[in-house]
Amino acid sequence: MTDPARARLPQRSLLTDPVVRAVIIQIAVFALVAGVLAFAAVNTAENLKRAGIASGFGFFNQVAGFDVSQSLVEYSRASTYGRVFLVGLLNTLLVSSVSIVVATVLGFAVGLLRLSGNWLVSRMAAVYVEILRNVPLLLQILFWYIAILNPLPGPRQAMSLFDTIFLCNRGLIIPWPVFLPGSWLVLVAFLLALAGGAGLVLWARRRQRLTGKRFPAYVSSLGLIILLPLVALAAAGFPIRWDLPELSGFNFAGGLTLQPEFTALVLALSLYTAAFIAENVRAGIEAVDKGQIEAAHSLGLRPAPTMRLVVVPQALRVIIPPLTSQHLTLVKNSSLAVVIGYPDLVSVFAGTTLNQTGQAVEIIAITMLVYLTISLAISLFMNWYNARVAILER
């Protein structure tokens, strides 16, 4: 079918046709990018050949020959570079996940305190936020490591809390449980208590639905979860003991030692990120319309349930996207570990391993891929959570 109106239009030049233009521009951009990438690849390959470096991933099976100060899995200098990669990755994940939890909890607390009606409390929270978020993170890591943890006295003069927790220049030494045979009874008791607690909560909910009567289910199941394992512990003759740190010679034996590098990094990362999270939380709560609080109050809800049932659920949808971004930043910032020698992925893999093997392209590519994967995983999880708390609109 010919459209008479269109037929009368003057013949258009191909160059001014928006569709043709768009296609031409896309082809040109694609060719440019592909060309640059190809040039880089060829150039790198030639340089590597000239320097006599074999590319490939064979180095993963070679013996590393260096020590790592902290490892979650078995590691010795006879381990392979593959093992080094695993150690570094686990250390990165450890420091990131501990810091994310601490930063989020602390950030929510500080954010809420900043909204407190108490002048002193809200001012203190504000001072915390303004100082912590306005000093470079690198300086803060160095501050905790060099200025606070390093000058601590040696193990013999360690500061102690009730002679069970020690702080000295070897790090923070805390008691750690040891599981002797017979511990299974306590574990079973613990699992039973968990199941019982869940049952109690379900029963209380059902009773509330039917009769309106309330039962402090959470408090009582918490009591159950604490008491039952204690009873089992006594019945089994205390098979779980605390391994208490004790000074022997020039160092502590027993307990768990949190190295100063780890402690400094967790402190710096979580305190710094908590300041940003606190601002996100404050903004999120302030973004909830005042009318919502008035409506809840006018229905007879008290301030605490108003916060929990009305304000926080609405604030979360504002808080979560920037919170995700803070978590991602924290994981990436954990690579600053390298300045105080904490053996994270960048330090032992993209640092020492790269220096010893010279496999720069492979190692940097793998390291980038690891951070990308961690970040995308966090994003995916947070997006799923955000969709769950999102508000349904028309």
Partner 1 sequence: MAIPDDPIIRIRHVNKWYGQFHVLKDINLTVGRGERVVICGPSGSGKSTLIRCVNRLETHQKGTISVDGIELTDDLKRIDRVRREVGMLFQNFNLFPHLTVMENCILAPVWVRRMPLLEARELAMQYLTRVRIPDQADKYPGQLSGGQQQRVAIARCLCMSPKIMLFDEPTSALDPEMIKEVLDVMVDLAGSGMTMVCVTHEMGFAREVADRVIFMDGGEILEENTPEAFFSAPQSERARLFLGQILSHAQMGARTNPD
Q: What share of the chain is helix, strand, coil (3-state, %, to 5)?
A: 70, 10, 25
Distance CA 177, CA 240 (A): 7
Q: Which of residues 61 and 292 has its CB atom nearest to partner 1 in the complex?
A: 292
Q: Which residues bind partner 1 (CB under 8 A)?
A: 208-214, 289, 291-292, 294-302, 305, 309-310, 313-314, 317, 389, 391-394
Min dist CB 319 to partner 1, Å, is 13
Query: For residue 196, what is the enclosing H or E element?
Result: helix 183-211
Shortest distance (Å) from residue 214 CB to partner 1: 7
In the three-class reduction of DSSP (H, G, I as helix; E, B as strand; rest coil), residue 44 is classed as: helix
Considering the complex, state which of residue 146 and residue 201 has its C-beta at the smaller distance from partner 1. 201
Q: Which is nearer to partner 1, 126 or 301 (CB)?
A: 301
Torsion of CA 223, 227, 229, 232, to 10 degrees: -160
- Whichever of 237 and 291 has its CB closer to partner 1, that residue is 291
Minimum CB–partner distance for residue 285 and partner 1 (Å): 14
- Cα 33 from chain centroid? 35
The CB-of-213 to partner 1 minimum distance in angstroms stands at: 7
CB of 293 to partner 1, least distance (A): 9
Query: Which is closer to partner 1, CB of 7 or CB of 210?
Result: 210
Alpha carbon distances (Å) from 336 to 71, 271, 293: 18, 15, 43
Q: What are phi and psi of 243, to 5 degrees?
A: -85, 105
Nearer to partner 1 by C-beta: 18 or 291?
Answer: 291
The answer to whether 131 and 145 are in contact (CB under 8 A) is no
Residue 281 CB, nearest approach to partner 1 (Å): 17
Smaller CB separation from partner 1, 147 or 387:
387
Residues 6+ apart with CB under 8 A from 171: 149, 257, 258, 259, 260, 262, 263
Alpha helices in 52-116 (DSSP H): 81-114
Q: Among residues 72, 99, 258, 249, which one has the least CA distance to residue 166?
A: 258
Paired strand residues for 248? 251
* Least separation in angstroms between CB 283 and partner 1: 18
How far from the centroid of its chain's Cα atoms is residue 135's Cα?
Answer: 21
